[in-house]
Structure 1
Amino acid sequence: MLKIGLTGGIGTGKSTISSIIIENGFKLIDADIISKEVLLKYPEILERVRVDFGEGFFDWRGEFRRKEFGNHIFRFPIQRKKFENLILPFIKKEIDLQIENYKNKGEKLVFIDAPTLIETNLHEEMDYVILVFADNATQISRIKLRDKLSNTDALNRINSQMPLEKKKEFANIIIDNNKDLESTKNQVDEVIEFFKSFI
């Protein structure tokens, strides 16, 4: 089974490309969805968060204050790395389980959508890597609009990831998502036609 990694920085519009891929009938594993699901599936993660990061990230009902925690760890790289080291093994485990599930069902091809595909070396397990690219100003604008974040918080999140120019070195295919939706869709359609030959 062919494994295709889909990655890009925050605010590059990767979810738009994922939606087009799914609409075309391809199977896609979304690491962002998995990162939320593992918090429910593995309660030991949040138990460790309470111990390592404090009770302040939980409300009076005991609910995890995800946005406040996110803003905190993106301001402090050492704290972010600490949390990543905690949660990534669980995310990786779930991705592997889903890959194996699709393989057992006889799928010929699966996309793995992961923003930190390269940073976590998951790209080494892929047959192809697609990078969704957008310039810095476009990223900031999209993050502020989508997540209702300040300019500083948006920049903190961008700067926490590997620079997109560096990620280009690991990519087999680059989708430029700076322009309008039609331009993006045309590029994705070409990529889809290429991968259809493997099915």
Structure 2
Amino acid sequence: MIQNKAIVIGLTGGTGCGKSTVCSILKTYNTYIIDADKIAHSIIKKGNNAYFELINYFGKDILNSENEIDRKKLGKIVFSDKEKLFYLNNITHKYIIREIKDSINMAKDKQEYNYIVIDAPLLIETNLHKIVDEVWIVHCSLHTRLKRLVKRDNLSEEILIKRINSQTPFEQNKKYANFIIFNEDGANLEEIIKQRLKRKV
């Protein structure tokens, strides 16, 4: 049964905590997923405003052979330099936020969904938590995160720890959460999510 008004959930959490797994479960509940990472990838494509702003700041060394922005090259630069990470976010966030808001409005206008989920690592840092009905944070131990990320990204622990340390700590963000999912290995996420959504329908 479709609700009269879709509930907007802001889903966040550090890399390796399992946001994608939570999203895959939420999809089975008639949910429209807005993936902030996918939007971030699309807005830096060649020809877009963010593309030219990034080249203007970082230079052409961040381009690949097809003159597209090489995200791995860019990542190596910003994850070891907080000032450059700040400038990257300052350039891209305005475009990402605008597209997310447009996507929410589009999904609401369709009146087809029970839930609209913004899957955004920087949900709170970009103040997107202020436009949602609920904030969900997915969290797990550093050990579990590293184990998952080494397997997923095939990168060294040293590089992965730099990425993790560049993100806002869970302890700082948890005060904004309406719901926290502790996603250690073996957690029954389907049941955890089912019980939460029962309270919302």
Mean Cα displacement is larger for which, 90-99 or 150-159? Answer: 150-159
* Unpaired stretches in structure 2, ≥5 consecutive residues: none
Instruction: Give how far 1:110 is off.
Output: 1.2
Mean Cα displacement is larger for which, 33-42 or 146-155? Answer: 33-42
TM-score under structure 1 length normalisation: 0.91
Provide the alpha-carbon RMSD of the alignment. 1.6
Paired amino acid for 1:57: I
Match of 2:11 in 1: 6
Paired amino acid for 2:167: Q
Paired amino acid for 1:162: T
Q: What is the CA deviation profile of residues 91-127 of structure 1, one whole-angstrom value per residue up to 9, with x for unaligned ones?
A: 0010010111112112453111111111111111111
Q: What is the CA deviation profile of residues 37-68 of structure 1, one whole-angstrom value per residue up to 9, with x for unaligned ones?
A: 21238622122222211111112331321112
TM-score under structure 2 length normalisation: 0.90
Aligned runs of 1:1-199 on 2, under 5 Å?
1=5, 2-40=7-45, 43-106=48-111, 107-180=113-186, 183-195=188-200, 197=201
Identity over aligned pairs, percent: 34
CA distance in 2, matches of 1:68, 1:148: 16
CA distance in 1, matches of 2:115, 2:181: 19
CA contact (8 A) 2:46 2:67 kept: no
CA contact (8 A) 1:123 1:129 kept: yes
CA contact (8 A) 2:30 2:114 kept: no
Number of aligned pairs? 195
- Which is richer in helix? 1
Paired amino acid for 1:86: I
3-state secondary structure, aligned to 2:50: helix
CA contact (8 A) 1:75 1:153 kept: no
* Unpaired stretches in structure 1, ≥5 consecutive residues: none
